[in-house]
Structure 1
Amino acid sequence: MVPQEYQKFYLKDVTFVNLMMRRIYNVLIVANPYDAFMLEDDGRVEEKIYNEYVELGLRYPPTFTQVSTTEEARQVLRTMHIDLVICMPGNADNDAFSVARDIKAEFPHMHCIVLTPFSHGITKRMENEDLSIFDYVFCWLGNTNLILSIIKLIEDKMNLEHDIDEGGVQMILLVEDSIRFYSSILPNLYNYILAQSKRFSTEALNRHAASLRMRGRPKVVLARNYEEAMALYERYSDNVLGVISDVRFPIHGEKDSEAGLKLMREIRKTDPYLPLILESSESENRAKAEAEGFRFVDKNSKKMSLDLHKMLEEHLGFGDFIFRDPKTKAEIMRIHSLKELQDNIFKIPDDSMLYHISRNHMSRWLSARAIFPVSMFLKTVTWERLKDITAHREIIFDAIVQYRHMKNIGVVAVFDRMKFDAYSHFARIGEGSLGGKGRGLAFLDNIIKTHPEFNSLEGATVQIPRTVVLCTDVFDQFMVQNNLYQIALSDASDDDILRHFLRAQLPDSLIADFFTFFEAVKSPIAIRSSSLLEDAHYQPFAGIYSTYMIPYLDDKYAMLEMLACAIKGVYASVYYRDSKAYMTATSNVIDQEKMAVILQEVVGKQFDGRYYPNISGVLRSLNYYPIGDERAEDGIASLALGLGKYIVDGGQTLRVSPYHPHQVLQTSELETALRETQTRFYALDTRHVSNDFKVDDGFNILNLKVKEAERDNSLNFIASTYDPYDQVIRDGLYEGGRKVISFAGVLQQGVFPLPELLQMSMRFGAEAMRRPVEIEFACNLNADRTGSLYLLQIRPIVDQKQMLDEDLAAIPDDRCLLRSHNSLGHGVTEDVTDVVYVKTDDRFSAANNPTIAREIEKLNKEYLDRGTNYVLVGPGRWGSSDSWLGIPVKWPHISAARVIVEVALKNYRVDPSQGTHFFQNLTSFGVGYFTIDENRNDGCFHKAQLDAMPAVEETEHVRVVRFEKGLRIMMDGKKGEGVIAAI
């Protein structure tokens, strides 16, 4: 029997049009041109936000104004009404914090956000910064969704009080003081909440009503200490949907290792059934949390965001309402909509009904779906007051019926099959991100377009290859539809993961698009990874994921099958063992990684069963190994015949500064030219047609002798001939005699203006990014001396700005453990104690290099687990794919090294490597790189000092020693000097 007080009631409708009234209309972004381009052309923040505003039935989405300097920012702020300033990582002459302080000093009431890259140096600096004058500081890794989240967070804060009082809107309280962590969780949280709000908007009867209803989504409020969290909870306790809290954060200004537990206990006293979720990277907190009945999410989990989504769905009322058996927790019935709840309310078993209503679950589910009138009414009908299940059912039924009755009253091209042809350049399939390489390519295309000088030289054209990008949403769809996360996040072997991915299905809707692309390019296709984190402006993931190539076939269906395998192979490589190790090394969570895939014509020409370009290269606008009259800022290029993978794999290349093309060390002497120029090259095997794709993305790449290229007649203008009779090398091709890959025709004889084009590429690229750059390129030369330069990729060389105020040359040799006059890197480090070095006594043999690589990989894992670093010393070329030239490690195998040293032995001398993907990782993580050759008095290495010390760990080929007080590592990047000394 329903009590009298509940028999007649009126639900007050919520006018959604009155919610979210205060908005951010004008945003000023202070950013360098690369970030600005990335936001406009790749992330399309303006378009994303515009679409969302249209969805929400709002007329005036924010406009974005972009400037590069503080002065320009001041000018805009004085002349325009700006609601929010976002200061992004700086240009060469300032940084985000300085810009933000200047703006706040003149406009103290302005909402101001600072975005900063995440690095050891920045973290240290922020410990001493007063951040209280800014609304928030966020960590920027190139994810444009963060900009959306920032605007949402500030709008939520602006509208919180009004919307809770006006409509009963709910809030999720997030308590977290780690900038790194809340920067990654907030986009995730908003993404989830907005997706859910789209789902629940279907409760409305028409599109307009559905749009308005989305304004009632739960708000997210961020608190960064105990006092702030408690004040927010006490003020809005009736409208808190749930609390997600870290365990360790400040109480009264001091970090407290149990702050989260204390907060939860306090809240639990007021509301025994409010969902409380603790998250922590300290796994011992799980037991503490669960002992007190709190939910727990492990920050270290590879699927942390999936775990959090599951908890939000289950405990905060998102997703379907699941009636459960109170004893077994087994699912009894699943409810998708309000109408379904109405239809089934009398069919639920009594004990399940009692379990849910006594814990306020139904009211919470309705709140999360913005059905506030019913939710607020049911919140007053508590089990304690009624204690009658049948009456409860009737009240819920009547409330739903009344509510429903009340509601009844009353410049990147999008790929287009019709338009994409041989003249098209760059298009996207999907609505997600282009990923790192995709952004770089779009940016390169833009640089070429804005600098007509590139195409002003006779006989030369400059362009990017024809490209289509499968955006990250295609990856998401593929992973979910094929249910691949379980195998992907497991500890399965790389081969096993690849096998599962190859069995999965890509959407059929892509087939017609792919056929159009084949028809347009009529050449082999490179299928390249372009992940969100890869080549991110401040944290490159260079060379970590796979790149496959497939031949061009007349049989389009056979080509389609190979293309599908290649795309799935690239997707699988996100989850290979090395990728996961790299994620750990860079403090990234693997399920934040999203993969776009670039489909791109391969630059080159078809020869007998193989395909390759005359020239491939990597160009860097900073040269850390200048020789003769070269300067560091003159840049350096590594040139090779054939596919660029040869350079990436550490093959023998020709090193030349584009501003000094006549000065090539490797060809300056006969003996050096014969010993140190390219003898092999890579080409795509165009006869290899099958779907037998391997984890090794080079399975169909031929490793050929230069003699084979001579047979193809592809050495015109790039080779010289050695005359054994006269003991001389002559520029050009002559009968007999070994061919030396000297690039003499393009470097010294002006056959093709490659040096001038590379100078332009460096200059315009570095200007556009406002920092030094690395550019990959390939070149086709024709017999008539014309040719085409294709720019394939651009990424910044991250500049370390640590202060170095010591003259390293003044430090005597006897005070150094190591000294290099050829060092890469810049700054001072004093927190390393260990040296890991290869034993190079008389028994050393390059034949053992693969074994040494495995021993070092094992040691490196121990350092990663401990979170410590070391100095790594060994002979030859680190990271070479040719184990006779050096120890064949990959970046993840040495990722905990702070300095890497290549030492020349008397009987084992290999010139230092330069220009490989390996170096991008070294520079972006601020890792030092020294080369020492005591035979030429080029630096010193006091190995005897290490040999005399006890080993803390020792393998057959490697020793580890520890310095009690640590080591002082000093690097002067401008002068190329490096010193390591015991403290």
Structure 2
Amino acid sequence: MNAEEPLQSADRVSTGLSGLDEVLDGLRIGDNVVWRVTDLDDYRRFVLPFVDAASATGRQIIYLRFGQHPPILQQHPAVRTIEIDALGGFESFTSRVWHLIEQHGRGAFYVCDSLSELLNAWATDAMVGNFFRVVCPFLFELDTVAWFALHPERHSRMTLDRIRQTTQVMIDVQRHGDEVQIQPIKAWRRQSPTMFLPHREQDGQFQPITDSSDATRLQASLELEHPHRQPLLDYWDRLFQEAGRALSEQDDACIAELQEQVLQVLISRDPRILELARRYLSLDDLLGIRSRLVGSGYVGGKATGMLIARNILLKDAPDLWQQQLEPHDSSYLGTDAYYAFLVHNGLWPAIMRQRSEAGYLSEAPALQGHILAGEFPYEIRAELERLLDHYGQYPILVRSSSLQEDGFGNAFAGKYESVFLVNQGSPEQRLAALEAAVRQVYASSMSEDALVYRKQRGLDQREEPMALLIQRVNGRFHGRYYLPDAAGVGVSRNTFAWDSNMAPEAGMVRLVMGLGTRAVDRIEGDHACVMALDHPMRQPFRNQDENYRFSQHLVDLLDLQEGSLDTRPLSQLLETTKDLPMAHLAEVDRAASTRAEQIGLQGPIWRLTFRPLVQQSPFINRLSHLLKTLEAGYRHPVDVEFTLHLNDQGEPSFNLVQCRPLATIGETGPVAIPDPLPENHLLFRTQGHFMGGNINLAIKRVIRVDASVYADLTTSERYDVARRIGEEVRSTDTPTLLIGPGRWGTSSPELGVPVRFSDIAGVAALVEVSEKAGEMVPDLSYGSHFFQDLVETGTAYAALFPENNHCDYFPNRLPLDTAPAQTSAHPAIRVHHLKQRHLQLTGDVVGQQLVCYFTD
């Protein structure tokens, strides 16, 4: 090629070839140039003159090396080569490129490897287009010139069209024997009568083929070289097409290879999850998942956990669970749809600002607002519409299923949103509601709780795209209401055993009537039924009255008339709904029923004790079997969510909606409680009512909320106390014991201190105290999201009931020289720095003894 006197000016840039400059009227500052080639050698032949011309003018030239193909440039003295790993995923790769462009600033020139190489790392073709839609405008904004190549036969029409729409210059290069032909496809803001004709190379010049007969013959000869070229298919689609072929032909070697390939792009990158998936998700299973996937990419951790758990039961214990496990009817919105949404709405610059250290929390609220106002790409909207056709007018639940969610050690319990949809109205109304729900879940990835959680666990710089799990809500229509018969959370290890006879390995359940929201969230002013599976009838209450008092009185359900998730008192629900399965879930409170009849009220009065379910059905045995089977399959304790469907005899079938590895604090080996322990050394002692297994912690600071002062505060003042406690907790990393009245983390300040978990996540131990001042009573709601947070962060927990015989508490033994809080002091907050002697918190899970005492 001949590069005679290439064109250069203030706003013009040469390609390095005068003949090509003539065809294109040169390049402009800001141009992104995409070369569509069948052989990368043709790209190299054009790159070298461009680099030489740019070098002659003193330009900074960066070669972004990310492909598996041989380098485009070899040790050019004017070029800085930067290698980037694309295997970390779309977000990490795109962020790295973004920061490099930002770092090199205005006027830099770039040469890039083939965009088609990104398919080897990401599999999903749509993300190649999204990457280009992110970086091309940024390069244009910074007055750069950047060159890219791609192999058009490896990409879908949609991706090629989006790249074409975004770039400034696109050129096709085709070869017939030794002849090279170029054809500009796009040249933004320039035109000539022959610019977009095919051009044949002759001695460094490019002559337009102006004779239509000549052009037709040339095109025919090119087509003869590829006589059976297939319609363009996405790489992702080709992978699943090949998987289907391998299964139909029973090609075992190919099946094993394709199973591994599909697991890597559909299920997870986590080695422990992949090991599980290899054992329990066959290639046939994976094709079934693909058939229910909207878009492409990963289905996310929550969906993966549910699918693996179901297959553990069906494959390891088919005789029972083929009959007793209800078929799932879930759909999935892939992680690529999340990125496509962000790119489609121009939110990548905002994402980059939020990912910075300075903007990690401060940029999130604005980004949340933009996500909530975003629109969906057409292809995603069309698939969501088809998904709604499948579910008809059954209520559905839109759940987060992020890449890291529900993994080993990272449950993200309650950090992201789940949205119930009654799914009523016209198709247009139902689609609008579904889109709003998806946006709401997407936006929850920017919530402060989620971001703080990720930061604390060192996940803030790891890719965390949001997939969605969309499930038909299991239940029945009861007039204007829709709800399941019952729902619950089950754990295969009971680290909150309140009786020394209870075996932690037997597991426990937290059970409610209606929607499971009341089983996974701490219920304000109401109580789920908590049962140890080896002693289900042994409740932590002193008498029947207390058992009734601390039972469930409110039911979560979907109100079809109002179109929302709602809560109704059980007594009110029974007045209008006569076909609820009360005889299988509840007992009649005869004394209360008699009193009601005496004042003219209709009875009976039901109490949700779940005794009939336990005593008259195989519920406990089946749940125990389910948890043991899953723990064996996971080779780790598990935490599940389920709903129950009762037949006319009250026999339950299970609908498993979630499964994840259970985070556990305990199992640290035996601990020794001093015996005898001097009475005046004791801060508190309790039998049972603590969580964390065996505990052995040295405490050097105590933050205590004075109940007598706190009880007299207004609601706003109580929120102020919660805020100040968060500031005090974060002021130092000293091992801290936090003691307060009633419930930590409540949303009802009259029941305790309304801190967010992110405010107190750094404490070593958390203590809730039953106080006579007000109705502030601890809530033993193990299995709720709040307690899951405690378990995951390794925070020990205790509930103290000083009015009971099994508990002693002596707050006045804390040192009187109370140090002022690091923030402005508040009379309700006592901060005790233990400089002379520290506290030791010791818990024996076998003996169910917990003591906190001063050391000498």
| TM bracket, shorter-chain basis | 0.5 to 0.7
Question: 2:464 matched to 1:653?
Answer: no
* Alignment correspondent of 1:543: 414
| Equivalence for 2:212 | none
Counterpart of 1:642 in structure 2 is: 514
| Counterpart Cα distance in 2 of 1:425 and 1:704 | 39
How many residues align structurally? 618
Secondary structure of 1:795's aligned partner: strand
Q: What residue in structure 1 maps to residue 556 of structure 2?
A: 682
CA contact (8 A) 1:685 1:701 kept: yes
Report the secondary structure of 2:571's partner residue.
Answer: helix
- Residue of structure 1 aligned with 2:454, choices 567, 583, 586: 583
Matching residue of 2:577 = 712
Q: Does 1:872 align with 2:738?
A: yes
Q: What is the match of residue 301 of structure 2?
A: 436
Match of 2:160 in 1: none
Shift of 1:610: 2.4
* Whole-Å separation in 2 of the counterparts to 1:425 and 1:788: 27
**Aligned with residue 692 of structure 2, among 790, 803, 825:** 825
Instruction: Give the distance between the partners of 2:851 and 2:371, measured in 1 at CA.
Output: 47
Match of 2:145 in 1: 334
Whole-angstrom distance in 1 between the partners of 2:409 and 2:592: 54
User: Offset of 1:815 from its aligned partner?
Assistant: 3.1
Contact 2:493 2:507 in 1 (8 A): yes
Measured against aligned partners, the alpha-carbon deviations of 1:558-593 in whole angstroms (never above 9, x if no partner) come to 111101110111000011222222223323216632
Task: Name the SS for the 1:656 alignment partner.
Answer: strand
CA shift in 2, pair 1:497/1:794, >3 Å: same
Superposition deviation, residue 546 in structure 1 = 0.7
Contact 2:593/2:603 (<8 A) preserved: no
Q: Which moved more, 1:938-947 or 1:848-857?
A: 848-857
Aligned-pair distance for 1:748?
A: 1.6
Distance (whole Å) between structure 2 residues aligned to residue 400 and residue 802 of structure 1: 77
* 1:592-640 residue CA offsets vs partner (Å, 9 max, x unmatched): 3211111111122222332211211111122222437432222111111
Q: Identify the residue that residue 341 of structure 2 maps to in structure 1.
A: 478
The superposition leaves residues 814-867 of structure 1 with CA deviations (integer Å, 9 ceiling, x where unpaired) of: 3343434332114666675221111023x4428757744543344324544655
Shifted more, 575-584 versus 475-484: the winner is 575-584
Q: How does 1:920-939 map to 2 (within 5 A)?
A: 920-939=788-807
The answer (yes or no) to whether the contact 2:64–2:110 under 8 Å persists in 1 is: no
Q: Which residue of 1 aligns with 2:566?
A: 702
Query: How far apart, in 2, do the equivalents of 1:524 and 1:559 lie?
Result: 10
Partners of 2:40 and 2:785 in 1: CA distance: 50
Does structure 1 residue 745 correspond to structure 2 residue 609? no
Q: In the superposition, relative to structure 1, how do residues 485 and 940 fare at CA in structure 2: closer, same or farther (>3 Å)?
A: farther
Secondary structure, counterpart of 1:520 in structure 2: helix
* Aligned partner of 2:466 among 583, 587, 595: 595
Aligned residue identity for 1:567 = V
Contact 2:449–2:758 (8 Å) recurs in 1: yes
- Return the match for 1:670 from 537, 544, 563: 544
Distance 1:534 1:424 in 2: 18
Change in CA separation of 1:856 and 1:981 when aligned onto 2, cut-off 3 Å: farther
Q: Which amino acid aligns with 1:604?
A: G
> What one-letter code is carried by the residue in structure 2 that aligns with 1:748?
Q
Using the size of structure 1 for normalisation, the TM-score is: 0.56
The SS at the match of 2:834 is: strand
Secondary structure at 2:584 match in 1? coil
Check whether the contact 1:465–1:790 (CA below 8 A) recurs between aligned residues.
yes
Find out whether 1:567 has 2:430 as its counterpart.
Answer: no
Q: 1:479 to 1:742 in 2, by over 3 A?
A: same
Q: 1:784 to 1:519 in 2, by over 3 A?
A: farther
> Which of 831, 839, 842 in structure 2 is aligned with 1:970?
842
> Structure 2: which amino acid aligns with 1:744?
R
Contact kept, 8 Å, 1:853 with 1:887, in 2: the verdict is: yes
Say whether 1:759 aligns with 2:624: yes
C-alpha spacing 1:484/1:868, structure 2 compared with 1 (3 Å): farther
Judged with a 3 Å threshold, the aligned counterparts in structure 2 of structure 1 residues 595 and 628 are, in CA distance, closer, same or farther, namely same
- 1:148 alignment partner in structure 2: none
Residue 919 of structure 1 deviates from its aligned partner by 1.7
Q: Is the Cα contact below 8 Å between 2:400 and 2:468 reproduced in 1? A: yes
Note if 1:895 corresponds to 2:733.
Answer: no
Map Cα deviations across residues 629-656 of structure 1 (whole Å, 9 max, x no partner). 4322221111111111122221211111
Change (3 A) 1:795 1:200: farther
1:36-51 aligned within 5 A: none
Query: Contact between 2:551 and 2:609, CA under 8 Å: does it hold in 1?
Result: yes
Calculate percent identity across the aligned residue pairs: 22
> Does structure 1 conserve the Cα–Cα contact (< 8 Å) formed by 2:301 and 2:403?
yes
Map of 1:480-495 to 2, 5 A cutoff?
480-487=343-350, 489=354
User: Partners in 1 of 2:750 and 2:142 — Cα distance?
Assistant: 62
Q: Is the 8 A contact 1:426 1:466 kept in 2?
A: no
Letter in 1 for 2:636: R
Q: Is the CA contact (8 Å cut-off) linking 1:949 and 1:961 kept in structure 2?
A: yes
Indicate conservation of the 8 Å contact 1:550/1:562, yes or no: yes
Cα distance in 2 for residues equivalent to 1:847 and 1:937 = 30
Partner of 2:215 in structure 1? none
Equivalent position to 2:810, from 932, 939, 942? 942
Deviation for aligned residue 1:936: 1.6
| Change in CA separation of 1:951 and 1:658 when aligned onto 2, cut-off 3 Å | same
**Cα distance in structure 2, aligned partners of 1:769 and 1:659:** 21
Following superposition, the deviation at residue 803 of structure 1 comes to 4.6
1:521 maps to 391
- 1:116-154 Cα offsets, whole Å, 9 max, x none, are xxxxxxxxxxxxxxxxxxxxxxxxxxxxxxxxxxxxxxx
Task: Report SS of the residue matched to 2:658.
Answer: strand
SS at match of 2:616: coil
Structure 2, unmatched stretches of 5+, are 4-31, 45-61, 66-76, 84-90, 115-139, 151-202, 207-221, 226-258, 268-283
Compared CA separation, residues 545 and 518, structure 1 to 2 (3 A): same
Is the 1:968–1:982 contact (alpha carbons within 8 Å) kept by the matching residues of 2?
yes
Q: What secondary structure sits across from 1:592 in the alignment?
A: coil
1:771–1:796 Cα contact (<8 Å) kept: yes
Q: Match for residue 426 of structure 2?
A: 555
Deviations 1:66-100 (A, max 9, x none): xxxxxxxxxxxxxxxxxxxxxxxxxxxxxxxxxxx
Aligned-pair distance for 1:962? 1.2
Distance 2:377 2:143 in 1: 34
Distance 1:628 1:530, change over 3 A: same
Instruction: Measure, in 1, the Cα distance between the counterparts of 2:727 and 2:294.
Output: 39
In structure 2, the CA distance between the partners of 1:553 and 1:585, relative to structure 1 (3 Å rule), is same
Contact kept, 8 Å, 2:743 with 2:777, in 1: the verdict is: no
Shift of the 590–648 alpha-carbon distance from structure 1 to 2, 3 Å rule, reads farther
Query: 2-side partners of 1:473 and 1:788: how far apart?
Result: 35
**Which of the numbers 362, 367, 370 marks the counterpart of 1:500?**
370
Tell me the TM-score normalised to structure 2 length.
Answer: 0.63
Report how far residue 767 of structure 1 moved: 0.9
C-alpha distance in 2 between matches for 1:747 and 1:425: 39
| 2:205 is the counterpart of 1:205 | no
Q: Is the 8 A contact 1:816 1:982 kept in 2?
A: yes
Contact preservation (8 Å) 2:746, 2:754 = yes
Residues 867 and 507 of structure 1: is their aligned pair in 2 closer, same or farther, counting only changes over 3 Å?
farther
* Structure 1 residue 790, shift from structure 2 partner: 0.9
CA 1:338 to 1:572, structure 2 compared with 1: closer, same or farther past 3 Å? closer
**Displacement of 1:876:** 1.7
Distance 1:688 1:440 in 2: 33
Contact 2:722–2:754 (8 Å) recurs in 1: no
